[in-house]
Each structure stands twice: as structure tokens, then as C-alpha cells.
Chains A and B, each alone.
Chain A
């Protein structure tokens, strides 16, 4: 059976239901109606639940959107809904939301309360910045957010700073008493033999975090008994091997964000992660899923192309390693053979000297939105300021996540100066083939990629180019 703790109750579910969206399970099977169904695409956070897992003898919680979370991904975890946060009287988060009038129609409110409570349970510092970050996947149509932010500010005033223990949070009325028992309960589930069989499935549609597939075909997944990749431990490793950074395909964006190894290897990517969807989705979305989705605009794909990553494709014991840039053949077509699955992603850790790595993205809404165009750029200069290596990728400008091979060829050996940049703009413009769609007209995408390439260059040398000369007079 699939087993997990739902609020304060152990729950067993038939493995046949492993593909059911967790929110349907809550609302239809368990009749818990506190979490709301709004968008069914993880875009609004009204169904946010907390997912607690034992990590290094601590229960760490992550927020996720239940509407696109497979039931299987709850296996052996603690799932907290608004009902599991309620206590006798209001808890402190709820009380602040009431006092600051952080709720109007109330439909988004349980999701916000769960997200805010979750911000206290991630193990991170409790600050206003982190509180807001934890609400970046929650949409409210009534309040304009300021009242909610005033509520979170008061919470930070109350218990800001270093992460607090579960016991402290209980004492200070942020959590109900039963949270004390969760660690023990999770340990006992962990030691039981896993009888669900869901992690041993080899057949069926491969499903990771579900953040894309549930948007596309929720009903099919419910009936499909998918092959769940999310919790397969062989796909969840993060490590540094020699000069390479390596991670498994089921590693989530949230895992990388929190990974010490990753932050050592590619430092300063706070803003990049912030630009990737929302906290809830980052906690669910696997990098493997992002790559396999083959979206021409996938942020992580573009990021990894800029790092010139390689991927390991496995088929049973057989493995092959190819460059990510060679993986994408045409729109949603990949160099991918039957029986294969994406196992690992590797990239060479960028050298610290004379090497510049930059990611840029512009979308209609700055956060939690799909890019109009995104781009990553890694340029290595030699001692004479000549370009030794250049990896430039761009999304939204062709049928595949684009690695600009011609641009690379053009750049190598050239001095890094205005003349080179001017000529490169032409090369880029010739290399890409954007089309007009919901993300913008082709003209806009061409203009935007020009700007993003210049933005990369300005990060290397802010005086290298004068953009005002580009204004048409």
C-alpha cells in the first residue's frame, strides 16, 4: 500500500491510485475541502500542501501544489493541509492574517496560510524575504498582497532569525501539538518494508514531479498507473566528481537550489532560481522532467546548455553519454531510443578565473511566468582578452532549446570588444528562427535576444557597449 501521514492520521491507499492528483484525493476521497481547486496547473497555490520528509534526523517540509502532485509522491511522507494546521483557536499565522485583513474572499487564503507556515519549516532563516519567496506561487485576486505581507512581517518580528525547532513553533502557537510525533511516525514508516511496489514499477508512462504532465493529461495519468521516477533513490544523487558536477534526473530544482555542492560549483544563482516558476513548483519539478519535456523555452534546459552539460541515457545496464546540445533534434524530438531513460546530468564546473556565466530571462510577469526569450551565456577569455570558449543558449527563438553553434564558432578567437559584439548581433540574428506566438511576435523575440546578449556582455564589462546608440532615430 501507499502509506503516508495526512495531518495527524496515517493513511493507506491502494497503489492503483498512485497517479491520482493529490488534491482530488483530498477533496473527493477524504472530503477535506479546505484546500481549493482553482487552476489545476500549479499556477495559483490555492491547493498548497506541505510535504514533510525525514532528512538527517530532522523533518524538513517543502510546499507543493496538490493539484498536480501525484499521490505516489506522498508515499512515506507527512502531508499537511490547512486542516492539519488548525488548532484550538487560531494559530499565529492565521491570527496575523486576520488582524492585518490578509483575506478578503477567502478562496486563496488557506493556500497562503499553508505557504506561510511552510516558510517556518524549511530549515531556512525566517526573514521577510524568505516569507515572500514562499508565497511566490500563491495568487490572490482581492488584496493586492500588501496586507498579507504586513501579516508576514509581524510573524518575522515575532520569530524571525534562525530556523526554529518544531517544539518552539508548537510552544509559540504556530503549530498544533501533534507535530511533535511526526518524526517518530515517519521513522516507523521508513523502517517498514515498502509494500506499495510503486517505486519498482518499470512499465508505464515515466512521471517525475508531474508539474508538466498533470497540466496536460490529468485524467489519463489517474488511470495509467505511471512509472514513478520521483523518489527512486538512484536518480536523486547530487555529487562532485573531479571537475564535474553530476546529478540524477529526479533531482528537483529545489534540491539544487539548496545543494551546497551546486552553490559552490555555480555560485550566485539566487536570482536564477527565483526566476524559475514558483517555490511550490521548484520543489516538485525534476530537472530530468524539464529536459525530457523538450520545451524550446525551458529555463533549466537553457541554463544547462549554457554550461554545455552532458546527459547520461540508460537502458538497463547500457548507458550512453551525449552533449545536451546534441539531444534536441526538432520540435519535441530528441535523440532518444526506445527503452532508454534519462539517468544523469553532468557538467564541467566553470573555472573561477576569466570565466563569466550569466542567465537572462524576460517574461510578461517577472516571476512565475514562461519566458518570452531566455538565454544563458558562458564566456571564457584568455590573458589577451580574446574569447577562448563561448557557450550561448537561447530559448523561444526556434523549435528547440537553442545552443548557438554558429555564434560560438564566430566568437572563438575574437577579441572581446564592441566590434566583435556588433558583428555577433548579426550572427545571432541569422542563426535563430523565432515564430510569433503567445509569448510574443518574432520581431520582439529577435529584439529581446539582442538585448539579452548585450545584457550578458554588460555584466562582463559595463562599458563595452552603448545601448542608446541602438535607438532608431
Chain B
């Protein structure tokens, strides 16, 4: 491609290697793949009832429509009509009952998408409606749950509350969040020889897609090949939930023996797929007179939707992060996975962590407001330190919380900023500024220990170039670039010598999804292992050619293999190695050492390491109209030793803004009938170019203490989202500057409606 030439000459390091293709529109996503001859188009007909018995389905008119190839129901599923991952509680196509508005009932396969859409309108389904529950507290009361409740406990908060100088209790709720990956869910399934299937899927979890598809079709996993070139955004929404659509496309292709493409329209995607879990929570917080948090309890009611999906795992992480960055010696937190009649809620950047953190931050804010002090006085007094214990038994190590805090307040002159704001608020009657500090602490690893492993396949070709396959899915986070960097560094080659292949289950099998911020760590380490194996095999040969006995003196740099006195070209070594019949391909493997967790005791050491950071938010509130503008967000973030500052900065800025959206604009609204009201982009608003803070400043705090991150570059995918909580509290503080007696209800997102109602409450 011509622009390769150009990028090499003009672009310096620290770019995303995919970028030149993105900016020229040449990157291919599932819907951009050229269609094979005979391709059919599929649509899922979904339930118009949130809970009910299916009395009658009539699709005879639709079936007769010219161009309709086939209409399939649960009766046609050749394998098991089941797609549930953690709990087996979700059918591919509804059989007797429907449990949420948007649940797939039929699969329509037609010669064109338009025909499939027309056919949908001819289908009639009668339901006998049952009781619809949309609120998790109500669900819990009625015993409607998805799995068992979990409790993490340290010390004895109940007895300690009596000894606290201050005790506050209340409720705190946070809303759902639509992923709004710009590329909707979709898959393209193509029959292969010998009865197999190739599915191009927009998924973060190729193995999950493979497993689910094989199961519903009654095939061996080896007969189902999943290929992921890349995806147009995931954010967790395609960790588990891409499987449904890929399995449906696979189902269609398996039955019709023709290629079948299924791409959700935006409207369908919004209506049918799960989102971030809304939570309703109770908290109780007790402090001593020095503002130390002595005791904290919380109950979380997770709105899981109609099937378990990843809810039990999300629930767990809420508990892991329930005290955010604060050490609380007496803490008891309980979470209930509640079953409601909404689409099954699922993974979303932060994975339950943000919901847990919102509650402790609300509790702290409430206490501060009652005590008439800034919340950050309490925040600062309770930051984690080395040797402290998390509620789940892991000891705090290599803690950067205080370092981030101090660096932030000094670097950005917190005291001066506070004075400026105080002054501004005195001078202005209808415009008030609010400030909030938001520290974060996030554990890296899948909390389900067995998932913390990965593999990579490396081929060194005859011309010295390298092909790399891993289990990592590129979704914008730059993992492709990081993998190329890892291989390039291992062999001492320039980036253009490394080719990163599609993620494909026939090359790298049994993968964990691209999730938990751990993908670069896990796959990068597996890749290092593969590269090292190849290097180990050719080092003796290099020693022979370089006449160097001590192989430790041989290094791979700048396309050369160097000993003290002599060096040879990498290509020459590779070619000689191949002539000597040395295996120049290797499969690497990595599993995170040390980590463990005992779910019976709810204790262990589940995280490889933690990521820390702190942020300051400044917002200006228009108290006439209830609108606001974020002036600045300033961050000090613990990157470890960043591998690629451009990519990592992108994660911070993007995560931050996504978190801010969750706290302010993004209002997922279901009515009592379980129908999504925010079901278009006209009614569901995400941050636009004008919404974002006028200034975002990010300081890369370099920390060098941890070795479980890839090349000491700490995971950066999820943690920054939680800075977004600061958006909420800065607005609240601005409201209080206008109306000190405003009644604050800790109910996110804080929409313009809530702001105005609170300002004049």
C-alpha cells in the first residue's frame, strides 16, 4: 500500500500503527468485508414483551415473501439452545417464554437486508404478559436473583460504628451506560469444507464465540473457526454479547449452507443488547474525629437483567473496589445479583468497579457536606499505604496513592485553585464553579484466576520478517501496536518488519477475552516467551558465526545480531538457521504467577498489581439554566513505564471522557414495561466535541516498582474511566455553592434536569 512508504518516512515513534489505515478508510470491519456470491442477510426478530409466555407465533406470511430464504426458530437449533456463559440461563432463541423486550425469537434469512426487514413486519407473536420487574431492589425483595449474593469483610464494622465520632447512612444509585461502540454487533458466517464454519465476528472474545456457536450447532469447537480482524469499539459490550449474533449468523449459514451476514442496526443494538449494570445501593460510613474512616458497610443491588451473562463476575469486582483508594479497617460489603426484565447487562469498562466506587465516594461526600468540609480532606486522610489490607485479604504493595495525590496537589497548585474558585463564586451570582478530586485504585488481572493466561504464535520468515498471532483483539486500545513493539524489541527489529495477524482461533486457541485491562500484559508476555524460544534456538548458531563462546554477550539490536567484536545481519542469521533446519516458529505461553483467590473464604491475592492515580475537576455551572461546562481535568496517573505514550494518553483521555459521560449525559431509561426509551442516538447522548473539558492535562507518573506488567508498562484500559466520578461531584459542589441547602440525592447520572431541580430545591 502506498501510504506505508509515506508513514515510514514522516511518522516518528509512539504512534498507533493502525492509524494510517484508519484515517484513509482502508481498515476493514466485518460489514466492510467483500460479500461472497450467494450471501444471505439475517435479522433477528425480537420480543415486544418484557416478560411473558409466547402464546402463538405466526410467520407464514413472512416466509412467503419473495426473497425470504428461511425463517428459523428454537425448534431448528441442531445443538443445545443455550448461550449462557457463567450460568446456563439464556437461550439462543426464546422457546416458551420471553424475559426481556428485545429477546431474539426468530431468525430471518433473506436475499437482502431490506427483504429481511420487510419480513419482520409480517411476523405476529401473541404473548401472555407476566409480571415485569425493572428495579433491582424490587427483584431482590421478590427473590428474583441470577446467582448467589457475595460478601467481603474485614474487621467488624457493626461493632465499630458505635465508637465513631460521625456516622452517616443513605442511598446512592448509579445508572446504566450504553457502550455505543460505533461499530454495531455483527458477524459474517461462511460454510467451510467438511461441515465447518468460518465466522468473522466483531468480538472481544473469539473463544467465547467459538464455544457458544459450536454448542448451539452441535459441532466440535475444532469445526468452528473464529476470525477477528479488529473491532470498531468494544468497551466490554462485545466480551460476551458478541456470541449471540455470531452464533445466529453461524446457525443461518449452517442450515442454509450459504454465507450469512448479520449486522445489527443501531436501533436493534440499543434495544437488544445489555449495558453497564445500573446499581442501587445503601451505605453506612463511620469516621473518627480525625476524619479516618473507621467503618463502612454497603449493600449493592445490581440490576443484572434477564440472564446472568457476566453479572456474577461484574458483581465481584464491585466488591473488590468498594473502598476505591481508601483503607478501611472495618468494612463489610454485600452485593446481590438481581434478575430483572431488562436485556442482560454485561461487561463495561471498569466492570462493576465504578459502581462500587461511586457509593464510597457518595458516602464520603455526604459526610463532608454534613461536616461542612471539602470531601478531599476525608479522601486524603484515608489513602491506601503499603502494608494495608484490602477487604479481600490482599496486602497493599507498591502503593502509589499518596505519591499521586501529593504530586497532583503540588503540580496543579490545589490550594491556589481552591482560592480562585472561592473568589469566583463570591464575585458571580449565577455562575458557580465546583471542584472535586477523584483518586483511583484499580486491580489488574481477571478476578477469575484461571483466565489469567495467554498464548502467542510467532513465525520468523526466510527474509527475516516476523508474523505474530496472539489472542488479543484490537479494538482501538492499541494492543496491536504494543504487540508489534514487544516482538520488535525482542528481535531488535524495526516495527515494519513485524506483521500482526488477525486474531484467529485456529492459530491461538482457548483464549481469554480481550478484557480486564490485562490483554497487553498477558499476550505480550506470551509473545515474549515465543520470541525467547526462537532466540534460544538460534543463539548457539549465532555464537558459532560470531565466534563468541559466551552467548550472554550476544544481543539483538538494530537488525543485527551483535557480539563484542563482530556482528551479523539478522536476515543472514535467520537464513542460516533455516538452512540448518532450525525451527523458526514458536508458540509462547504465559500465566500470571502468584495470583489466587478463594471464593469460599472470599480472601486471596487476586491481582497482579494495582494502578493508581488522582485527578482534579473544575466545572462552571450556569445556575439560571442548569447547564455546565467542564473547565479542566488535571490528572496524575501511574503508568509504570509507558510503552507507548500516544496510545496510553489516548486511553486516559478516552476513558476519562467516557466516565464523565456515564456520570452526566448518559441516561439509559427503561419504562415500567421494560421498554428502552433512550433507544436512538437522538435520545441517548454521549460526549461530543463541545462537552469535553476545555483542558485535559495528564502527567505521566513514572513508577518502576512492578514487574508483572508487560515491559513494566502498567495496564491502562479501564482505570481512567473511574476518574469520571469527579465530574459528578464537581457539579454537586457547584450546586452547593449556589444553594448550600440543596438536597443532594446521590443519583447518577446528574442530568441537566436533576441539576436544575436540585439548584432550586
State whether these chains interact.
yes
Q: Output the residue of A99, A367, A454, A455 with the most chain B CB within 10 A.
A: A99
B274 to chain A, nearest CB (A): 17
Residues of A142-172 at the interface with B, using a CB-CB cut-off of 8 Å, are: 142-149
Interface contact B23-A104, CB-CB below 8 Å: no
Contacts A82-B25, A104-B654 given; indicate if A145 touches B476 (C-beta within 8 A): no
Residues of B574-615 at the interface with A, using a CB-CB cut-off of 8 Å, are: none
Interface contact A106-B692, CB-CB below 8 Å: no
Q: A471 an interface residue at 8 Å Cβ cutoff?
A: yes
Which residues of A have CB within 8 Å of B461?
Answer: none
Q: B232 an interface residue at 8 Å Cβ cutoff?
A: yes
B760 contact from A39, A109, A149, A470, Cβ within 8 A: A470
Interface contact A89-B27, CB-CB below 8 Å: no
Chain B interface mostly helix, strand, loop or mixed?
loop
Q: A37 an interface residue at 8 Å Cβ cutoff?
A: yes
Complex Cα–Cα for A138 and B5 (A): 29
Interface contact A107-B232, CB-CB below 8 Å: yes
Complex Cα–Cα for A353 and B180 (A): 49
Which residues of B have CB within 8 Å of A98?
Answer: 7, 11, 15-16, 19-20, 23
Interface contact B653-A143, CB-CB below 8 Å: yes
Which residues of A have CB within 8 Å of B683?
Answer: 438
A113 contact from B16, B23, B182, B689, Cβ within 8 A: B23
Interface contact A33-B32, CB-CB below 8 Å: yes
Interface contact B682-A145, CB-CB below 8 Å: no
Interface contact B624-A101, CB-CB below 8 Å: no
Interface contact B182-A455, CB-CB below 8 Å: no
Interface contact A109-B266, CB-CB below 8 Å: no
Q: Output the residue of B16, B23, B753 with the most chain A CB within 10 A.
A: B23
Which residues of A have CB within 8 Å of B757?
Answer: 443-444, 447
A282 to chain B, nearest CB (A): 15
Interface contact A110-B265, CB-CB below 8 Å: no
Residues of B176-231 at the interface with A, using a CB-CB cut-off of 8 Å, are: 179-184, 230-231
Which residues of A have CB within 8 Å of B756?
Answer: 362, 444, 447-448, 451
Complex Cα–Cα for A447 and B756 (A): 8
Q: B423 an interface residue at 8 Å Cβ cutoff?
A: no
Complex Cα–Cα for A35 and B182 (A): 12
Interface contact B751-A41, CB-CB below 8 Å: no
Q: A363 an interface residue at 8 Å Cβ cutoff?
A: yes
Interface contact B751-A364, CB-CB below 8 Å: yes
Q: B547 an interface residue at 8 Å Cβ cutoff?
A: no
Stretch at the interface among B309-317, B390-398, B501-509, B642-650: B642-650
Complex Cα–Cα for A455 and B624 (A): 7
Q: A139 an interface residue at 8 Å Cβ cutoff?
A: yes
Q: Output the residue of A101, A110, A222 with the most chain B CB within 10 A.
A: A101
Interface contact B266-A438, CB-CB below 8 Å: no
Residues of B150-187 at the interface with A, using a CB-CB cut-off of 8 Å, are: 179-184
One digit per residue, 1 when the CB lies within 8 angstroms of any chain A CB and 0 when it does not, for chain B 636-665 equals 000000000011011001111110000001
Complex Cα–Cα for A10 and B117 (A): 32
Which residues of B have CB within 8 Å of A473?
Answer: 741
A362 contact from B34, B232, B657, B752, Cβ within 8 A: B752
By the criterion of a CB under 8 Å from any partner CB, how many residues of chain B are at the interface?
94
Q: A132 an interface residue at 8 Å Cβ cutoff?
A: yes
Q: A426 an interface residue at 8 Å Cβ cutoff?
A: no
Q: A433 an interface residue at 8 Å Cβ cutoff?
A: no
Q: B691 an interface residue at 8 Å Cβ cutoff?
A: yes
Which residues of A have CB within 8 Å of B179?
Answer: 141
Which residues of A have CB within 8 Å of B114?
Answer: 219, 222
Stretch at the interface among A325-333, A368-376, A402-410: A368-376
Contacts A98-B23, A106-B22, A454-B624 given; indicate if A144 touches B653 (C-beta within 8 A): yes
Which residues of B have CB within 8 Å of A255?
Answer: none
One digit per residue, 1 when the CB lies within 8 angstroms of any chain B CB and 0 when it does not, for chain A 31-67 equals 1011111111101101000000000000000000000
Q: A72 an interface residue at 8 Å Cβ cutoff?
A: no
Interface contact B626-A362, CB-CB below 8 Å: yes
Number of A-B contacts (CB under 8 A): 261
A132 to chain B, nearest CB (A): 6
Q: A398 an interface residue at 8 Å Cβ cutoff?
A: no
Q: B475 an interface residue at 8 Å Cβ cutoff?
A: yes
A36 contact from B232, B738, B752, Cβ within 8 A: B232
Complex Cα–Cα for A143 and B653 (A): 6
Interface contact A33-B23, CB-CB below 8 Å: no
Complex Cα–Cα for A236 and B519 (A): 56
Which residues of B have CB within 8 Å of A308?
Answer: none
Which residues of B have CB within 8 Å of A370?
Answer: 682
- In the complex, the chain A residue whose C-beta lies closest to that of B21 is A106
Interface contact A441-B753, CB-CB below 8 Å: yes
Q: A264 an interface residue at 8 Å Cβ cutoff?
A: no
Q: B97 an interface residue at 8 Å Cβ cutoff?
A: no
Residues of A102-122 at the interface with B, using a CB-CB cut-off of 8 Å, are: 102-110, 113
Q: A30 an interface residue at 8 Å Cβ cutoff?
A: no
Which residues of B have CB within 8 Å of A441?
Answer: 753
A244 to chain B, nearest CB (A): 32
Q: A452 an interface residue at 8 Å Cβ cutoff?
A: yes
Interface contact A89-B5, CB-CB below 8 Å: yes
Interface contact B685-A365, CB-CB below 8 Å: yes
Interface contact A451-B625, CB-CB below 8 Å: yes
Interface contact B752-A364, CB-CB below 8 Å: yes
- In the complex, the chain A residue whose C-beta lies closest to that of B113 is A28
- In the complex, the chain A residue whose C-beta lies closest to that of B270 is A39
Q: A225 an interface residue at 8 Å Cβ cutoff?
A: no
Interface contact B647-A101, CB-CB below 8 Å: yes
Q: A135 an interface residue at 8 Å Cβ cutoff?
A: yes
Residues of A62-100 at the interface with B, using a CB-CB cut-off of 8 Å, are: 81-83, 86, 88-90, 93-95, 97-100
Q: A415 an interface residue at 8 Å Cβ cutoff?
A: no
B59 to chain A, nearest CB (A): 19
Which residues of A have CB within 8 Å of B624?
Answer: 451, 454-455, 458, 467
Q: Output the residue of B180, B475, B685 with the most chain A CB within 10 A.
A: B685
B456 to chain A, nearest CB (A): 22
Q: B550 an interface residue at 8 Å Cβ cutoff?
A: no
Q: B702 an interface residue at 8 Å Cβ cutoff?
A: no
- In the complex, the chain A residue whose C-beta lies closest to that of B15 is A98
B650 contact from A142, A360, A447, Cβ within 8 A: A142
Q: B2 an interface residue at 8 Å Cβ cutoff?
A: yes
Contacts A33-B32, A136-B690 given; indicate if A39 touches B681 (C-beta within 8 A): yes
Q: A352 an interface residue at 8 Å Cβ cutoff?
A: no
Contacts A40-B265, A447-B760 given; indicate if A101 touches B19 (C-beta within 8 A): yes
Interface contact B739-A135, CB-CB below 8 Å: no
Residues of A165-190 at the interface with B, using a CB-CB cut-off of 8 Å, are: none
One digit per residue, 1 when the CB lies within 8 angstroms of any chain A CB and 0 when it does not, for chain B 415-446 equals 00000000000000110000000000000000
Which residues of A have CB within 8 Å of B689?
Answer: 132, 135-136, 138, 145, 148-149
Complex Cα–Cα for A104 and B683 (A): 25
Interface contact A365-B233, CB-CB below 8 Å: no
One digit per residue, 1 when the CB lies within 8 angstroms of any chain B CB and 0 when it does not, for chain A 7-46 equals 0000000000000000000000001011111111101101
Q: B10 an interface residue at 8 Å Cβ cutoff?
A: yes
B265 to chain A, nearest CB (A): 7
Complex Cα–Cα for A370 and B450 (A): 48
B728 to chain A, nearest CB (A): 15
Q: A90-B20, A98-B11, A146-B692 are in contact. List 4 more A-B contacts (CB 8 A).
A: A99-B15, A145-B689, A438-B669, A467-B623
Which 10 pairs across A and B sit closest by C-beta, in order of nearness?
A: A34-B25, A105-B476, A89-B6, A106-B22, A107-B232, A104-B476, A144-B657, A43-B681, A82-B25, A144-B653
Q: List 26 A-B contacts (CB under 8 A).
A: A38-B183, A39-B266, A40-B267, A41-B266, A94-B20, A97-B23, A98-B11, A98-B16, A101-B15, A103-B22, A105-B181, A105-B232, A105-B233, A106-B18, A107-B232, A110-B24, A141-B179, A141-B182, A142-B476, A143-B653, A145-B689, A147-B650, A364-B752, A366-B690, A367-B688, A467-B430
Residues on B lying within 8 angstroms of A by beta carbon are 2-3, 5-7, 10-12, 15-16, 18-29, 31-32, 34, 114, 117-118, 179-184, 230-235, 265-267, 429-430, 475-478, 623-627, 629, 646-647, 649-650, 653-658, 665, 667, 669, 677-678, 680-683, 685-692, 696, 738-739, 741, 751-753, 756-757, 759-761
